[in-house]
Structure 1
C-alpha cells in the first residue's frame, strides 16, 4: 500500500535572515487530517508550532488555519501564521495582497507590506492576578512590579518588571515553571535600549516549549499594555530569547497589527501510512 504524502515547509518567522526568529512548520492540506495525526506530526516536528490549513468557502475566509505545539492545539499563534502566509504568497501562488484566515480566534488577516507581512490579530486583554512565590523565585531574584493573567488563557501569567535587563538576564528554573498546568509565563519590562519600546520573553515548559523564541500571540498581550503605558499606538517589541526578534506592533482598538518578515528554510514531504 502506497504512503500518503503531504507537503511541508519550515519557515523562520519574525526575522529577515535564517537561523533567527521563530521556526514554524507549515503543512498545507486538501482536507483535514484526524486531530491525533496532526498532533503526532507536530510532535515529530518538535518545533514550538506546526500550522495546518485548508482552503475554505466559510464566510469571507480564504483558508481555515489551526496550530499545534508538540503536545496540544492552541487557539492563536502569530509566528506560525506569518510562516503560513509566506508559504501561501510565495510558494502556493496566492494572488491577492491580503489573506483572510478562519481560526479558533475568529477571522485573522495577513497582508503584504513590501517585503514584510502584517498580521491583524485580536488584542488579548489582561486582568490583575497573583502568582505563587516559588514561580516568582524561579524566574529572577528581582520582584515583579505587577502580576496579571490573560483573560483568554487564564493560566497564562504576565509579570511586569522594572527594567529590560532583568528580563534579558533571566535564567529560569524550568522544572518549577513546568509545574504550571497547561500554560506558561510572560515576562515583560520597558526597554533598556533605543531600538524598541519593551522587552519580553515567554516560557512554556508545561507545553513542551521551554522558551518560545519570538511570539506573535504574546505581543497581542504586551503591546496593548505598553501602548497604554507610553501613550503610543505604535510600539516595537523585542523578544529576548537566544534567537531573538523584533515585532512592530500597532494597537488599533481591539486589534493589534503585527508586522514582521519571514524566511523559507526548507520544503519537503511527509510520508504517512
Structure 2
C-alpha cells in the first residue's frame, strides 16, 4: 500500500474553477464506479463509536444519514482532523467488503500549507489507504460545500468530509438534506471559525488531544459534544477521552464526565498546526 495520498489529477485550467472541480470529481467517481457501487441498499444502522458514546447519542451511535461538525480550539486542529478521519474510517470499514467504502475528502488549495498536508501512514491507520480515499481540492468554502453536495449524490461513496472556515445555516441545511436522502454521513471539519451560528448539523464535536499515558496508544482524543439534535440536557458530554486501536474507537481510562448542563453552540475553531507535534495528530 502506498504511503502517500495520490496527487490530484490535472484538469483543463481554462475552465471556470467550479467546472474544474466538477470535472475532477466526475472523473474520479466514474473510475470508482467501474469497480463497484454501494447501490441503493444503504445501511441505516448508526455507526458504532464506543459503548459509552453510543449510549449518549439519541440513535445509539453516530447517525449515517446526517451532517456532523468537528471543530478544534487553537492549536488542536490536527487532533480534530484525526478524529474526523477515524469517523470516516469507521464508515468505510463497515461496507468495505461490498466493493464500496470510498471516502470523499475535500480541501481548499491552501489547506496543505496552513493546516498540514494529509499524511498517508496516519490515514492508513484509520483504514483510509489510497484505494479508499478520494481527495478533491477547491479554492473556496463555497466550492468545497458544493463538491460535498455533489459527492452525496454518488452511489460510489460511503461518506464525505470537507474542510471549511465558514458554514452558514443554509449551507448546513442543504448538506443535512443531501445526507439524509443518500443515507451516508457528511462531516464538516471547521477551521478558524469566527461564528457561533446555529447549524443544521445533528452533532458538533469539539476535539482536543488527550495526554498519551499508555504505551502503544498513539491516537487519543478528548471530546466535548457541544451540540446533539434530539438529545436531552443530561446527555451532555465533556472531556470524554477515547482512543483508536485495533481498527476501532475505545473509551479510555481516566475519562471525565462533568455535571449535566445545557448544550451550547460550537466554540471557535483555531488554526491547525502545520507540524505533528501534539498528541492525537494523525493527518
Question: Structure 1-normalised TM-score?
Answer: 0.29
More strand by share: 1
Greater relative contact order: 1 or 2 (C-alpha under 8 angstroms, separation 6 or more)? 2
More helix by share: 2
